[in-house]
Amino acid sequence: MKKYVILICVASLPTMSHAQGSVTLYGVIDEGVNYQSNAAGNRLFNLSSGVIQGSRWGLRGAEDLGGGTRAIFVLENGFDVNTGALGQGSRMFGRQAYVGLSSDTYGTLMAGRQYDSVVTSLAGR
C-alpha cells in the first residue's frame, strides 16, 4: 500500500504549477532646509520633513492566480524624517493598507485603507 501512495505522489509532481509573485520595497525621503532671516532679530536654520510630499516607505506585491487574475496588496507607512515619529495618527501603515483582486477582464476590487479615486486618478497610478 505504501508503494502505491508514493507512486501517485511522484506521478503528480510534474502536473503541479506554481504562480509567480513579486514584492517591491519602495520609499521616499523628503527633507528640506528652512532659512528665516529675521526670527526675533536672529537668523534661523531648521530642517523640515515632508516639504513637497510626505516621507514614506512601503511594500507592494502581486501574486498571479492564473487566468488573468492577481492578488494584490499595499502596506505604506508615513513618517517624520527628523524624529522618526509615525504619521497618520501614529498608525504603522497609516497611509495605505489594503488587499485586493485584480482581473484583466473584470477590473480591480480592493478593501482596506487606501487613497480615494481623485488622488489615484491625479497621481496616475
Q: What is the DSSP letter of 67?
A: T
Q: Is residue 4 part of a domain?
A: no
Domain that holds residue 76: 19-123
Q: Is residue 81 part of a domain?
A: yes
Q: What is the DSSP letter of 78?
A: E
Q: For the chain, how many structural domains are there in total?
A: 1
Mean pLDDT of 19-26: 84
Q: Is residue 13 part of a domain?
A: no
Q: Is residue 73 part of a domain?
A: yes
pTM of the model: 0.71
3-state SS class at 114: coil
Q: Is residue 8 part of a domain?
A: no
Q: Is residue 59 part of a domain?
A: yes
Q: Is residue 31 part of a domain?
A: yes
Condensed to tens digits (0 to 9), the pLDDT of residues 45-65 reads: 888 888 888 899 999 999 999
3-state SS class at 72: strand
